[in-house]
Amino acid sequence: MCGIVGYVGKHNPKDVLLAGLKALEYRGYDSAGIALKNEDETQIIKSVGKIKNLEEKIDCSSLIESNIGIAHTRWATHGAPTENNAHPHHVGKVTLVHNGIIENASEIKERLLKEGVKFNSDTDTEVACGLINYYYDGDEVKAIENAIDELTGSYAFGIMFEGNNNLYAVRKGSPLIVGISDNENYIASDITAIINYTNKYMLLEEGEIAVISDSEVKLFKDGKEINKEVLTADIKAEDKDKQGYEHYMLKEIMEEPILLENTLKTFLDDMSLVPDLGDYEEIHVVACGSAMYAGMIGKALLEEKAGIRVICEVASEYRYKKIIYDRKTLVILVSQSGETADTIAAMRKAKENGIDTLAIVNVKTSTIARETDKQIFIEAGPEIAVATTKAYILQVAIFGLLAYKASHSENIISEIKKLPRYVKEILDDRDRYLNLAKEIYKNNDVFFIGRKVDYAICMEGSLKLKEVSYLHSEAYQAGELKHGTISLIEDGTPVFGIITDDDIRDKTISNIEEVKSRGAKVIIVSNKLVSGYDRQIIVPKISEFFQAILIVPCLQLIAYEVAKLRGCDIDKPKNLAKSVTVE
């Protein structure tokens, strides 16, 4: 996934473009670049690595006079993260930035090469740029329409043409908005890039072409001009900064108590807002990464407590697998960004089969939020750190509510209302997590073991540690470890034993004994003390519907502290992007 930002107005675009790229850096940071333009020339400056490298390069460059520009921060898909492959790309009279993947780029490139077009990079983006230039004969909208008729795959394009002073934008499968203000207009992958300048924006839909000058925005679809509502973003500029925390990840973990309070209150005050899953015969929970692991907790709760049959599948598998829809089924799509390509594809597969869809989603303007039949918004606010924490916790809370409602259990609302305070007390105990982190950060492997819902918690604990600290880790069903992987346990290998489910507590403890007897450094995370173990994190015992919400923040903070001790780039881990909008 990449980040795009563009500006046309009364000032030199440099500052707006750089500020926008910094806000979008969580979307990918392999390389970055900006293009400025005036009547006489187009200036392109690019760099490999993070935005600060580009900023340094710009500071050493003499910039042309300009009031229009586009910029891009890249998460490499086609072509290595080199300066040559960085965006913006320029072919002929066209300069372009792109988020997405052009799937038929190679055959188009072959054809254009035969027509004498010269390419300088290995990217699919430059091919798209070349194709628009190929069709450009003075009519910019026509050139874009002809090109997108041929392109397959996903794209959000920001485009400039020599000879005029407009920005052009078009999207399919990747998000793009048009920011509106007096005498200055913008394009951006998401509102956080321009929230310091305007909170008014239009949401580009698939195939719509925006023609943007400093004073007006025109939209075209299939050759006809269309109108569109101007929306107002419900986030504040200050939501974006770290508010005194060293990292966004820590800030977002620390927001969990108040966010739980707000999100839970909405539903506890009116449980009719919680969808009733009771009349479905089968539920498919489909997601990626952490959202998937929240879904695994949802599966465990819905099956164990509400007796509902649940299939839980990663979206990249679900979208291609043979799915048998032979019962009244609901497909629940879990996604913080609402733009994860595989999850969108899984959603569209369900809809093509006439299946009801429900989104548990954070970004209200996202594709998944807009295309599903029903939505539960987790109201986490902007989550900037690539590693999800607050959004994940709220997804788990929503599953707890869904299962609680479907189970028709006795009233536990007063207990649920204690959750935020419990989480705050857990998070305040920072030294405990730092001390544990100091004991494991030099290890090469860390294991998490648990059974049933505790295994789902292990999956998230392990991912969080891996993705922010680059320390190898595996989550394993506690009973499965002895079928091979236990051979990896050496003297001092850290093993987290997650135990919350009383039904299988003793079984998990005996698995923990197995690793302890082989020298493992065992760390118990549980809602009840386990005798015989020095390293334990014990949280309050509460209803099983919400018990995971007290365990995971401990694991999030341990991952955070390990990453800090290992000197990692915590908010922007290498090779990752916040939302994977490509397959």
Catalytic machinery residues: 2, 578
* CB half-sphere exposure, 464, CA atoms < 13 A: 31
Nearer to ligand AGP, 99 or 335 (CB): 335
Considering the rule CB under 6 A, would residue 291 count as an interface residue with ligand AGP? yes
Residue 22 beta carbon to ligand AGP: minimum distance, rounded to whole angstroms: 19
Q: Determine which residue in the list 1, 21, 286, 386 makes contact with ligand AGP, applying CB under 6 A.
A: 386
Count interface residues toward ligand AGP (CB under 6 A).
Answer: 16
> How near is the Cβ of 388 to ligand AGP at its closest, in Å?
4
Strand-pairing partners, residue 181, are 184
Contact 424, 431 (CB under 8 A): no
| Mode of pairing for the β-strands spanning 184-188 and 3-8 | antiparallel
Q: Is residue 367 within 8 Å of residue 177, measured between CB atoms?
A: no
Judged by CB under 6 A, which of 42, 340, 357, 375 binds ligand AGP?
Answer: 340
- Three-state DSSP class for 583? coil
337 lines the binding site for ligand AGP (CB under 6 A): yes
Binding status of residue 378 toward ligand AGP by CB under 6 A: no
336 binds ligand AGP (CB under 6 A): yes
C-alpha–C-alpha distance, residues 222 and 128, integer Å: 19
Write out the E strands in 406-526.
445-450, 472-477, 494-499, 521-526
Residues of span 411-470 touching ligand AGP by CB under 6 A: 467
* Helix H or strand E segment including 467: helix 453-469
x/- site string to ligand AGP, residues 209 to 248, per CB under 6 A? ----------------------------------------
**580 touching ligand AGP, by CB under 6 A:** yes
| Nearest CB to ligand AGP, comparing residues 8 and 380 | 380
Supply 56's token pair.
């340094």
Which residue has its beta carbon closest to ligand AGP? 289
Q: Residue 520, Cβ neighbours under 10 Å: how many?
A: 23
Binding mask 484-503 for ligand AGP (x = CB under 6 A): --------------------
Scanning 70-78, 124-132, 384-392, 511-519 for contacts with ligand AGP by CB under 6 A, the matching segment is 384-392
Rounded distance, CA 469 to CA 569, Å? 8
User: Cα–Cα distances in Å, from 322 out to 274, 317, 325?
Assistant: 30, 10, 9
- 495 phi/psi in degrees, rounded to 5: -130, 120
Question: Using CB under 6 A, which of the segments 1-9, 40-48, 106-114, 333-341 binds ligand AGP?
Answer: 333-341
Pick 160 or 463: Cβ nearer ligand AGP: 463
- Of 77, 166, 335, 508, the one binding ligand AGP (CB under 6 A) is 335
Amino acid letter for position 560: Y
Query: Which tokens sit at 375?
Result: 């939505």
Burial 199-209 (b: 16+ CB within 10 A, else e): bbbbbbeeebb
Binding to ligand AGP by residue 289, rule CB under 6 A?
yes
Closer of 177 and 347 to ligand AGP (Cβ): 347
Residue number with CB closer to ligand AGP (290 or 526): 290
Spatial distance between the Cα atoms of 264 and 249, rounded to a whole number of angstroms = 22
Report residue 116: phi and psi, to 5°: 90, 10
Q: Which of 85, 99, 133, 388 binds ligand AGP (CB under 6 A)?
A: 388
Q: Which of 125, 290, 407, 462 binds ligand AGP (CB under 6 A)?
A: 290
219: left (phi over 0), alpha (psi -120 to 50) or beta: beta
Helix (H) or strand (E) holding 159: strand 155-161
Is 99 a binding residue for ligand AGP by CB under 6 A? The answer is: no
Could you give the strand order of the β-sheet that contains 309-314, starting from the edge strand earlier in sequence? 309-314, 282-287, 329-335, 356-361, 374-377
Does residue 124 bind ligand AGP (CB under 6 A)? no
Task: State which residue, 45 or 350, has the beta carbon closest to ligand AGP.
Answer: 350
Q: Which stretch binds ligand AGP (CB under 6 A): 181-189, 284-292, 519-527, 554-562?
A: 284-292
- 123, 133, 343, 407: which one contacts ligand AGP (CB under 6 A)? 343
Going from the C-alpha of 263 to that of each of 203, 300, 378, 381, 482, the distances in angstroms are 26, 22, 7, 11, 41
Return residues touching ligand AGP (CB under 6 A). Answer: 288-291, 335-337, 340, 343, 386-388, 467, 576, 579-580
